[in-house]
Amino acid sequence: MVRDPVTAYVALGANLGDALQTVRQTFDALSRLPACQLKGRSRLYRTAPHEAHGPEFVNAVAQIETRLTAPDLLDALQVLENQAGRERPYPNAPRTLDLDLLMYGQARMQSPRLTLPHPRWRERAFVLYPLADLQPDWVSANDLACVAGQTIDVLPETIP
């Protein structure tokens, strides 16, 4: 059975190794996932760790069209994290690559493994600003006001 394509949004973040290069390469890796097509990419942002410690992050959001189910897409994202050397020694540890499935079409689901939309997407400047690059109508002035205390800057090395 061929599934209709679904538009999904994925948050990308890295703060270990060459984080900028990792995020750039991850956009390319997302475009090569089976049954997926990269449809959009935000600018790149530098952010201070939020509810975590360690070096600054490079963050972005990707818009993809996929025929994978949400759990299968999550599996594919975790493979990319593992390929980038992701380790999980403790919650919110610094990471070579972090990929969060923010939204999967209009899906609403809650399981021990996956909640959609992502439960904290409106609480994080590193999600709101890049998401606004792709879907400005989804991010309100009130949303941005709520994260005003979180440090975030557009990187000059922005991908067009």
28 is catalytic: no
Is 62:12 a contact under the CB 8 Å cutoff? Answer: yes
Helices (H) and strands (E) in the chain, counts: 4, 8
The span from the CA of 115 to the CA of 109, in Å, is 5
The span from the CA of 3 to the CA of 6, in Å, is 9
> In this structure, is the dihedral angle defined by the CA atoms of residues 5, 60, 151 and 119, taken in order, positive or negative?
positive
86 is catalytic: yes
User: Among 24, 46, 98, 122, which one carries the catalytic annotation?
Assistant: 98
User: Among 24, 41, 46, 95, which one carries the catalytic annotation?
Assistant: 95
Reference 103, options 11, 2, 41; nearest CA is 11
In which element (H, E) is residue 23 found? helix 19-31
95 is catalytic: yes
Active site (catalytic) residues: 86, 95, 98, 100
